[in-house]
Structure 1
Amino acid sequence: MIILILLSVLTVLPLWFVITGSFMGSGEFSGNFKTVLNDTTGKVSWPFLPLYPTLRSYIELLLDSPKFFIVFWNSCKQVFPSLLGQLLIAVPAAWSFARFHFKGKRIIFTIYIILMVMPFQVTMVSTYLVLDRIHLLDSHLAIIIPAIFSTFPVFIMVKFFKAIPRSLIEAARIDGAGEWKLFINIGIPMGAGGIISAMILDFLELYNAIEQPLNFIKTTSLWPLTLYLPGISVQKAGISLVASVVMLLPALLLFLYGQKYLEQGIMVTGIKE
């Protein structure tokens, strides 16, 4: 228990630094980090709580920085359409892999898994060339279209759909339910845990994406939040911490809400058939 508590403290400590630092005034912040800001030798000090807490950085970011809301809206325009598209594509695809038998099914699903484990750096050039060919570079669609056809949510949902008892499916068929009714009335409700867990994981991935917008979007007015934070100057490091806290809140709240679904997803995907 002591070891787990110590590991938990080490995990939470950086988050605590960011939150407390966002309430520091510019004078206190520069005093604590003068060795870093001035590129000199010495030690960095960080109090457990700010000595002179202030909301000045929050006011400057939320009221006096319109660009922050532009990039926040850009993140929303890239993330939520991607998730909606994944629901329309990945859920039927996962249901088909889980419940139907067709020629080449195993080969196609193996290709899905290979694409899932490939890092972005491997597919970056090919994706860039395709987006350039269809004239979608430097737009929100350059992020949305590749994300819609992500194979990861299919992999998560297939396990949940396979866990639906076959006897229940057969009983519904005997009662006259067609494939569409089976999918809507049985598949989606009973696979809701997998759908939600896949959407939460994909939200976290898309919301924190850096490489995709950095390579596919050149116009700074279309950049998401992840590219806004590195552009804040060292002199406004306090605002950077506030922006980090604001950016962290949606992901943290969503993670806390969907934690039980994520645990279900981990358990189901870890079961070997």
Structure 2
Amino acid sequence: MAEGALMPLDELNAALGPVLAGREGEAFWPLLPSWPTLQPLAELLLDTPQFFVMFWNTCKLVFPTVLGQLLVGAPAAWAFSRFRFRGRRLLFTVYIVLMLMPFQVTMVPSYLVADGLGLMDTLWAVILPGMFSTFPIFIMAKGFDAVPDALLEAAALDGAGPLQTFFRIGLPLGMPGILSALVLGFLECWNAIEQPMTFLKTRSLWPLSLYLPEIAAEKLGLAMVSSLLMLAPSVLIFLFGQKYLELGIQSSGLKE
């Protein structure tokens, strides 16, 4: 993609035209562009306002969803990990089953619920189901399981209540699992295609994931540059959260 973003349009069409445009001949890919150019980047940044609209739409979908996963998922995961109540195992099993179900299975009921609530063709139709996703709760619960019981017992002896224990002990010590869930949630929401395609009919609400296939069919240079700019936040978030992903995986296997 980086080479394609710097490649002249005629050379790019000659290289990929037989594949993407159905032309005669065989596709090829040169090692380096014959004459590097920044024209596709300038065209995208200066002459393509819809790119910025859809980039902002993506941000409006992703960040509320991830914030909701934190506000909803962390307390629920703490309850599953530390509280013992009737039906806990059954309820957690239901969460795991829902986590394993692909979107195609829950698409119809989700559509009916969104339509019944009057949320169709709004960003909330995508945000709300993502906020209550079960996968972040599963990851966070495994991280909370690594918190030593002796530490919680000591906090209880010192007079700490459930909320104080959660905020002062659970959240700091469970931060690797929380950040792991948020990183994975960001990557999933940023690249989501099926959910926006199902719930959003107005093109002005589309995220970049739905915009890229359209420009790929029109202009290859813009498609390469757009793909790079869309990939950049995911790469940066992953590089930032890689350490926490590793810590979350390690903490889930620790025993007191």
Cα offset, 1:140, TM superposition: 0.3
Deviations 1:162-183 (Å, cap 9, x if unpaired)?
Answer: 1100011111111111111111
Q: Map of 1:189-268 to 2, 5 A cutoff?
A: 189-232=172-215, 234-268=217-251
Paired AA for residue 22 in structure 1: A
Pair 1:108-2:91 in alignment? yes
CA contact (8 A) 2:81 2:145 kept: yes
Pair 1:135-2:135 in alignment? no
C-alpha separation in 1, matches of 2:13 and 2:103? 38
Paired AA for residue 248 in structure 1: L
| Residue of structure 2 in register with 1:153 after alignment | 136
CA contact (8 A) 1:24 1:52 kept: yes
Deviations 1:80-116 (Å, cap 9, x if unpaired)?
Answer: 0011111111000000111110111111100000000
C-alpha separation in 2, matches of 1:252 and 1:180? 35
Quick check: 220-229 or 262-271, which moved more? 262-271
Paired AA for residue 152 in structure 2: I
Cα offset, 1:76, TM superposition: 0.5
C-alpha separation in 1, matches of 2:25 and 2:253? 48
| Residue of structure 1 in register with 2:70 after alignment | 87
Paired AA for residue 194 in structure 1: G
Paired AA for residue 74 in structure 2: V
| Residue of structure 1 in register with 2:26 after alignment | 43
Instruction: State the identity %.
Output: 55
Question: Structure with the greater relative contact order (CA < 8 A, sep ≥ 6): 1 or 2?
Answer: 2
TM-score, structure 2 length as denominator?
0.96
Pair 1:69-2:52 in alignment? yes
| Residue of structure 2 in register with 1:15 after alignment | none
Cα offset, 1:65, TM superposition: 0.6
C-alpha separation in 1, matches of 2:158 and 2:137? 29
SS of 2:26's equivalent in the other structure is: coil
Paired AA for residue 178 in structure 1: G
Instruction: Could you tell me which runs of 5 or more consecutive residues in structure 2 were left unpaired when the two chains were aligned.
Output: none
Paired AA for residue 72 in structure 1: F
Cα offset, 1:42, TM superposition: 2.3
C-alpha separation in 1, matches of 2:15 and 2:174? 51
Cα offset, 1:43, TM superposition: 2.0
SS of 1:218's equivalent in the other structure is: coil
CA contact (8 A) 2:13 2:220 kept: no
TM-score, structure 1 length as denominator?
0.90
CA contact (8 A) 2:179 2:244 kept: yes
C-alpha separation in 2, matches of 1:270 and 1:209? 30
Equivalent in 112, 123, 147 of residue 164 of structure 1:
147
SS of 1:172's equivalent in the other structure is: helix
Q: Map of 1:9-28 to 2, 5 A cutoff?
A: 18-28=1-11
Cα offset, 1:36, TM superposition: 3.1
CA contact (8 A) 1:28 1:52 kept: no
- Report how many aligned residue pairs link the two structures: 256
Paired AA for residue 135 in structure 1: G
CA contact (8 A) 1:74 1:223 kept: yes
